[in-house]
Amino acid sequence: MSNLPTFSALQVMQDAPVIPVIVLNDVAHAVPMARALVAGGIRMLEVTLRTPQALACIEAIAREVPEAVVGAGTVRTKADAQAAANAGSRFAVSPGYTSAVGQACRDAGLALLPGVASGSEIMMAQEDGFTELKFFPAMQAGGPAMLKAWSGPFFDVRFCPTGGVTLQNAPEFLALPNVVCVGGSWLVPAEAVAAGDWARVTALALATHALRK
């Protein structure tokens, strides 16, 4: 029995040109950071499960920033998926794909953007019913040329390239018909978070709207 996600992966991808990949080390940063992104028109927020504080950050954003839709990134196991859902995540992003993670996200009611970097991984994710995928690590694994090559055999798959994507190279990805949005950490620079420079985060978010397809 699966819980139905309130957002589909496609809706998560279509909301803005960029899904910010967020690393937080301090729960106190979570709410102002989320508000800064929302003020810049970005509401789908991927908080990576890479720090001990990540789940508490997701909880705080889910509780205090209703305009945001918080998701968990770096979801690698069934336990990650369950913990992410319990903390209030509405979607999940994984760096790779296993059927176990796919099923765990379905069971938890989380839309999943599974990470893929090869044709076999795309086929495994498709076999399990996933057709909106994260291409990771995008620049290192072949960049826009790889997505062009995949558009033939995988004509029914849409991608969110992430990894090495910047404001400068994003247009080349977004111009491709099989790319819906990109992901990137550049909207939330570590030094801006450490300094509490939320105006910079809002400015970086606002700058992404010129990328809209």
DSSP-derived pairing of the beta strands 44-48 and 115-116: unpaired
Choose the catalytic residue: 46, 64, 127, 191. 46
Nearest distance from C-beta of residue 140 to ligand 3PG, angstroms? 9
Edge-to-edge, what's the strand order for the sheet holding 158-161?
115-116, 132-135, 158-161
Tell me the three state secondary structure of residue 152.
Answer: coil
Tell me the three state secondary structure of residue 71.
Answer: strand
Span near ligand 3PG by CB under 6 A; candidates 10-18, 98-106, 163-171, 187-195: 163-171
Q: Please tell me whether residue 185 binds ligand 3PG under the rule CB under 6 A.
A: yes
Active site residue 132: no
Cα–Cα distance, 212 to 201 (Å, whole number): 18
Cα–Cα distance, 30 to 53 (Å, whole number): 10
Name the residue nearer to ligand 3PG (CB basis): 107 or 183. Answer: 183
Q: Which of 162, 178, 202, 208 binds ligand 3PG (CB under 6 A)?
A: 162
Which one, of 186, 211, 212, 182, lies nearest residue 201 by Cα? 186
Which one, of 88, 102, 101, 95, lies nearest residue 6 by Cα? 88
Q: Residue 75 is encoded by which pair of tokens?
A: 């979801």
Nearest distance from C-beta of residue 134 to ligand 3PG, angstroms? 8
Nearest distance from C-beta of residue 122 to ligand 3PG, angstroms? 18
Nearest distance from C-beta of residue 4 to ligand 3PG, angstroms? 27
Span near ligand 3PG by CB under 6 A; candidates 4-12, 79-87, 121-129, 160-168: 160-168
Q: Tokens 């205090």 — which residue?
A: 64
Active site residue 46: yes
Q: Please tell me whether residue 142 binds ligand 3PG under the rule CB under 6 A.
A: no
Q: Please tell me whether residue 164 binds ligand 3PG under the rule CB under 6 A.
A: yes
Which is it for the CA torsion 144, 164, 23, 65, positive or negative? negative
Q: Please tell me whether residue 161 binds ligand 3PG under the rule CB under 6 A.
A: no
Choose the catalytic residue: 64, 134, 172, 191. 134
Cα-to-chain-centroid distance, residue 141: 18
- Contacts with ligand 3PG, residue ranges (CB under 6 A): 21, 136-137, 162-165, 184-185
- Give me the active site residues, please: 46, 134
